[in-house]
Amino acid sequence: MSQVEITQEVREIVANNAIKSAHVIRKGDYASHVTEDRKESILQENLKQAELIRSGKLDHNFTIWQRMQYVLTGESIPFLPEVKK
């Protein structure tokens, strides 16, 4: 398992992917009790997170770091170690 340095270029890629994902989620199906206001709120929360990714403020977050490592190496680093049988 390799770990490489996070660059701003990688943050941009992951942030842009998060923005695309946020819009796909917003256009998707929700449970009937979820209001339009709540859907919009979820979109705004997701877009805010994308900007935090872009600024480097979420580099410490495992799932964000994992996504950046994947962009850099093509390897999806697991949270837990592989169990040997």
Per-residue pLDDT of the chain (85 residues; tens, 9 = 90+): 456 789 999 999 999 999 999 999 999 999 999 999 999 999 999 999 999 999 999 999 999 999 999 999 999 888 888 888 8
Whether 68 is covered by a domain: the verdict is: yes
Please indicate, yes or no, if residue 1 is contained in any of the structural domains. no
Confirm whether 80 is domain-assigned.
Answer: no
CA angle 31, 44, 74 (to 5 degrees): 90
Task: Quote the CA–CA distance of 30 and 79 in Å, as a whole number.
Answer: 29
| Rounded Cα distance, 45 and 25, in Å | 12
Q: What's the DSSP call for residue 79? A: S
Are the CB atoms for 63 and 6 separated by under 8 Å?
no
Q: Residue 19: give the domain boundaries.
A: 8-73
**Inside any domain, residue 65:** yes
What does the pLDDT read at residue 82? 84
pLDDT at 2: 52
Number of domain units in the chain: 1
pTM to 2 decimal places: 0.85
Query: What local confidence, expressed as pLDDT, does residue 3 receive?
Result: 64
For residues 59 and 48, what is the distance between their CA atoms, to the nearest angstrom? 15
Does residue 30 lie within any of the structural domains?
Answer: yes
Asked if the structure places residue 25 within a domain, the reply is yes
